[in-house]
Structure 1
Amino acid sequence: MRPFTSRQLEMTWPRLLRTVSFRLAALYLLLFTASAVVLGAVAFQAARTTLHQQMAARIDTETAFLADEFHTGGLDRLLAVVRSRERATDALEYLVQQGGKRLGGEIPASALMRPGWTTVIMSEPDENGGRPEPVRALVSDLGNGVLLGVGDSLTRMTEVEEAITSAFLWTIGVAALLGIGGGALLSRAFLSRVDAMARAAEAIIDGDIAHRLPVRGIDDDLDRLAGTLNRMLDRISTLMESLRQVSSDVAHDLRTPLSRLYQRLEDAQAHARSVPEYDTAVAAAVREAEGLLQTFAALLRIAQVEGASARTGFRTVDLSAVAETVVDAYRPDAEAAGYHLTADVTPDLFVQGDQELLTQAIANLVENALRHTPMGTRINVRLLHGATGVVLLVEDDGPGVLAADLPRLTHRFYRGEPSRATPGNGLGLSLVAAVADLHRAVLTFQNTMPGLCVRLVFPAISVGRSQTSKAGAA
């Protein structure tokens, strides 16, 4: 991956235009504009139709009124009413003609040739000196050769339509500008967070493995992505620290057995003079080599468990049956060695996990208790349903562990002072800790005065016959 340069991280328009947020804003703006245009066209046509209908209704009403005046008062009455109405504000346009001769009104007589609706252009300028205006008129035949024309100017309707169109265009324009500006602001905010994440990634690439991607705490998509990547980095850091620790432990703790092996072989080469002496030296070297192989096998097993982040192979495991099996396997040898190994297991307690690893973990706990306590010690393996899950307890009444040693019991190769004379490589509890972490179980150690209690709490998936008293004790 090539590092981001300051030039690449600049807030430039080309970068803004290429962002997903800006493209989404632009797409939304396009859809909004298209929808607004369609809705605006429909609204405009509806308004235009309404205006025309109102004009037609007004003309029809006026025509009916004047026709009634003509039929009741004659032509003179009609002309008098037309002249009086022409002087009113917002007056209509009129024409009264007989035999082709205009008797009243301002509509050109030549424009009204036959009854019906028609559009005419006024031949005279309007009162403001503007251009002639179009008039929509209704011509009616009143009888006796009299034609009545009543019209209304289309200029006012055109002005209303133009005002509606102008307002609509301004609205679309302002919405487009706001959309573009909003998209740019969103893109800038998006880019600033992406750039911050890129800078954090560069810091990590440069060796600052403790650096993490910034999280704003607003739980949006970028926050969730950063949180996921941070958890991934935490996991990588843990594995790297574990690798460094293993390397250090191997270099430090295997130096002594390797030195002993080398010393034995060197002594055999320098001092052995007979076949029995060579056989004795070789047998001792083989025992040292076997111990080394067991140590490396344990380290490999721990590494395999710690690297098994995927839990897709987990199955439902009857932990009650596993605990009973382990105790039954160790009980004969334990009793023969002078220990009292018992089990108090609630049946039908299940967990999700790897049965082989769970068996190994319980076996390591039992073996650890047998190895580091004196003869006559009572060791009890309990399994019960606690308040937070399935609880495994391995308890003894031995000497316990120094309080200062409790936090280090799961460290690789760690052995407390009282245990250095006993067989072992200090990896048994490290494997238990790795298995617990893989199964998302909580591992704790507690001195019980006397003895030690090792507690493993697994998330439960099913509980059989629970025992209330035991759950309370846990």
Structure 2
Amino acid sequence: MTALTKLFRTTTFRLSLTYLALFSVAAIVAIFYIYWNTTVLLTRQLNQTIDAELKGLAEQYRAGGLDQLVRTVAERSQTPGNSLYLVADNEGKQLAGNLSAVSPALWNSLGPVEFVYSRPAPGGVERRLAFANVFRLPGGYRLIVGRDIEDRRDLARLIRTTMLWGLGVMALVGIGGGFWVSRKLLTRIDDLAATTRTIMEGDLAGRLPVSGSDDELDRLSQSVNLMLARIEQLMAGLREVSDNIAHDLKTPLNRLRNRVEEALRESCDEGAYREALQRTIEEADGLIKTFNALLSIARLEAGAGGENRERLDLSELVRDVAELYEPVAEERGIALHAETAVPIVIHADRQLLGQAIANLIDNALKYGAPATAEGGNGWQPEVEVRAEAGEGVAEIIVTDRGPGVPGPERERVLGRFIRLEASRSEPGSGLGLSLVAAVARLHGGSLRLEDNEPGLRVVLVLPIEADALGNGAVAMPPPGAELRPT
């Protein structure tokens, strides 16, 4: 297919030709309508003028006979204008008027008739079109009263010429404009097609070009680019999960196999076998938890989950989760405080949000105790959990007084299987914060890590319902009121 044929087959070019045809038809109809109405108007005026003159001449004829008619026609013939008169005898001899000669066809006519006559003009004689009424008088005499309508024929000729030239110029401009627009659009579409082919070949980093005109193609390109960015992110996450499974789960699986093999190789009593089996079950449970966490993160990042959203009191949820961890905190010698005095109503999935809060508190209790070596950092081990409401958002803040996370590492620890050296002595898979970040994104929020000076300050930001706030303060439900799902 040649480039010209490809251009002619574009939708833009076909639409341009269609619009040109429709506009041409509309223009022809409009011009014809104007011409027809103009012709009707001029014809009506012409007939009225001739009828008025005939009535005047008829009165003169009745009053004074043929002589009076001849005198009147002679007088009117001297008046400049487009009026034409002729009174002739039965032999065609002119008695009065400004028509010097008439054709046999006109002489033998009767009533309204169009004819061509000659009159003197600069440089010779010109032939012009006229319209007249022919009357036969007693004695074979003829009376012709008419008007010169050459101007009307010139108008018709001018309209036809204008219409033809207009349609020609319109067709030229329309076809040229369609060619230019189609070529420009085709160039952009070819660029889009080339980029999509590159993406289909595996280059997910490719993006559709945006011209900056903010037209339909630009908006489509921007939407597709956002989709491609999301697909690239999901594919990167999938590759990361695969790599993490291959590397981080290989070690516990090998350890599990070696423990079972060692138990089979050695001669042990029933107690040793039972202990080996128990440790194997614990290791398998850890692997199952890791796989479940990975699946949960993958589902959340794919936009699945969160179908059971309801109106809930965030403060009450934080208190309930913190209460579950009070025995763990007491066992570790860490003071756990939950500051949630004011209800905060949000629309969220209770189970997912509760799991996210539990992960934050669990991380703080595991890694948030001050180091005992070298006298620690001077702070008592404590974990504080509180819920706050701002303008349009609710924040769940968990702080501790542990070693914290260095600034350059705060974004990295939100990834999967990322564990700092100081935390490797504690059990875990490095998926807790990843799951919390996925829950935040699913609810339209975010997760950020900050310095608590000393310690770590984790802030989970969630959007709050617009009607949950009043005058900048959190709306308080009436006493005894029950929060129900909407």
- TM superposition score category, shorter chain reference: 0.7 to 0.9
Aligned residue number for residue 444 of structure 1: 448
- Partner of 1:213, secondary structure, is coil
- Partner of 1:401, secondary structure, is coil
Q: Go from structure 1 to structure 2 and tell me whether the alpha carbon gap of 1:320 and 1:180 turns closer, same or farther (over 3 Å shift).
A: farther
Shift of 1:379: 2.0
- Partner of 2:426, secondary structure, is coil
Mapped to 2, the partners of 1:51 and 1:276 lie a distance apart of 123
Which of 42, 46, 55 aligns to 2:46? It is: 55
The answer as to whether partners of 1:409 and 1:429 remain within 8 angstroms in 2 is yes
Shift of 1:363: 1.1
Within-5 A mapping of 1:394-409: 394-409=398-413
Mapped to 1, the partners of 2:346 and 2:177 lie a distance apart of 52
Mapped to 1, the partners of 2:393 and 2:182 lie a distance apart of 47
Aligned residue number for residue 45 of structure 1: 36
Letter matched to residue 259 of structure 2: R
Q: Go from structure 1 to structure 2 and tell me whether the alpha carbon gap of 1:110 and 1:169 turns closer, same or farther (over 3 Å shift).
A: closer
- Partner of 1:241, secondary structure, is helix
Count of aligned positions: 460
Q: Which segment is superposed worse, 442-451 or 454-463?
A: 454-463
Name structure 1 gaps, 5 residues minimum. 1-6
Mapped to 2, the partners of 1:418 and 1:26 lie a distance apart of 73
Shift of 1:32: 1.5
Q: Go from structure 1 to structure 2 and tell me whether the alpha carbon gap of 1:27 and 1:346 turns closer, same or farther (over 3 Å shift).
A: farther
The answer as to whether partners of 1:346 and 1:384 remain within 8 angstroms in 2 is no
Letter matched to residue 459 of structure 1: P
Are 2:211 and 1:216 aligned? yes
Are 2:418 and 1:427 aligned? no
Q: Which segment is superposed worse, 261-270 or 212-221?
A: 261-270
Letter matched to residue 462 of structure 2: F
Are 2:369 and 1:374 aligned? yes
Q: Go from structure 1 to structure 2 and tell me whether the alpha carbon gap of 1:143 and 1:328 turns closer, same or farther (over 3 Å shift).
A: farther
Aligned residue number for residue 480 of structure 2: none
Which of 109, 115, 127 aligns to 1:121? It is: 115
Aligned residue number for residue 267 of structure 1: 262
Shift of 1:213: 0.5
Aligned residue number for residue 256 of structure 1: 251
Which of 173, 176, 183 aligns to 1:188? It is: 183
Mapped to 1, the partners of 2:400 and 2:472 lie a distance apart of 23
Shift of 1:230: 0.8
Are 2:348 and 1:353 aligned? yes
Aligned residue number for residue 3 of structure 1: none
Shift of 1:317: 4.3
Query: Deviation per CA, 1:275-315, whole angstroms, max 9, x where unpaired?
Result: 33333333332222222222122112211211226877655
Which of 11, 17, 27 aligns to 2:3? It is: 11
Query: Deviation per CA, 1:214-233, whole angstroms, max 9, x where unpaired?
Result: 01122211111111111111
Mapped to 1, the partners of 2:21 and 2:313 lie a distance apart of 60
Shift of 1:161: 1.1
Letter matched to residue 12 of structure 1: L
Are 2:420 and 1:416 aligned? yes
Mapped to 1, the partners of 2:104 and 2:78 lie a distance apart of 20
The answer as to whether partners of 1:11 and 1:191 remain within 8 angstroms in 2 is no
Aligned residue number for residue 207 of structure 1: 202
Query: Deviation per CA, 1:330-368, whole angstroms, max 9, x where unpaired?
Result: 234433543322322364433343222111111111111
Letter matched to residue 358 of structure 1: L
Question: How much identity, in percent, do the aligned residues show?
Answer: 37
Q: Go from structure 1 to structure 2 and tell me whether the alpha carbon gap of 1:311 and 1:92 turns closer, same or farther (over 3 Å shift).
A: farther
Which of 19, 35, 50 aligns to 1:28? It is: 19
Mapped to 1, the partners of 2:229 and 2:138 lie a distance apart of 101
Mapped to 2, the partners of 1:16 and 1:410 lie a distance apart of 51
Are 2:240 and 1:245 aligned? yes
Mapped to 1, the partners of 2:429 and 2:328 lie a distance apart of 21
Shift of 1:197: 0.3
Aligned residue number for residue 156 of structure 2: 161
Query: Deviation per CA, 1:88-139, whole angstroms, max 9, x where unpaired?
Result: 7654322114567652343458746798x510535x6565889976531135
Are 2:395 and 1:391 aligned? yes
The answer as to whether partners of 1:257 and 1:288 remain within 8 angstroms in 2 is yes
Letter matched to residue 206 of structure 2: H
Shift of 1:19: 2.3
The answer as to whether partners of 2:392 and 2:466 remain within 8 angstroms in 1 is no
Within-5 A mapping of 1:297-336: 297-308=292-303, 314-336=309-331
The answer as to whether partners of 1:410 and 1:430 remain within 8 angstroms in 2 is yes
Under a length normalisation based on structure 1, what TM-score does the superposition of the two structures give? Answer: 0.84
The answer as to whether partners of 1:44 and 1:164 remain within 8 angstroms in 2 is yes
Letter matched to residue 457 of structure 2: C
Q: Which segment is superposed worse, 222-231 or 303-312?
A: 303-312
Letter matched to residue 340 of structure 2: V
Mapped to 2, the partners of 1:259 and 1:353 lie a distance apart of 40
Aligned residue number for residue 4 of structure 1: none
Under a length normalisation based on structure 2, what TM-score does the superposition of the two structures give? Answer: 0.82
Q: Go from structure 1 to structure 2 and tell me whether the alpha carbon gap of 1:443 and 1:464 turns closer, same or farther (over 3 Å shift).
A: same
Shift of 1:377: 2.7
Mapped to 2, the partners of 1:88 and 1:216 lie a distance apart of 72
Query: Deviation per CA, 1:31-72, whole angstroms, max 9, x where unpaired?
Result: 222222221221011111222234334434555666677788
Q: Go from structure 1 to structure 2 and tell me whether the alpha carbon gap of 1:365 and 1:311 turns closer, same or farther (over 3 Å shift).
A: closer
The answer as to whether partners of 1:67 and 1:142 remain within 8 angstroms in 2 is no
The answer as to whether partners of 2:120 and 2:126 remain within 8 angstroms in 1 is no
Name structure 2 gaps, 5 residues minimum. 371-379, 475-486
Mapped to 1, the partners of 2:473 and 2:334 lie a distance apart of 27
Letter matched to residue 274 of structure 1: D
The answer as to whether partners of 2:16 and 2:178 remain within 8 angstroms in 1 is yes
Shift of 1:398: 3.2
The answer as to whether partners of 1:21 and 1:186 remain within 8 angstroms in 2 is yes
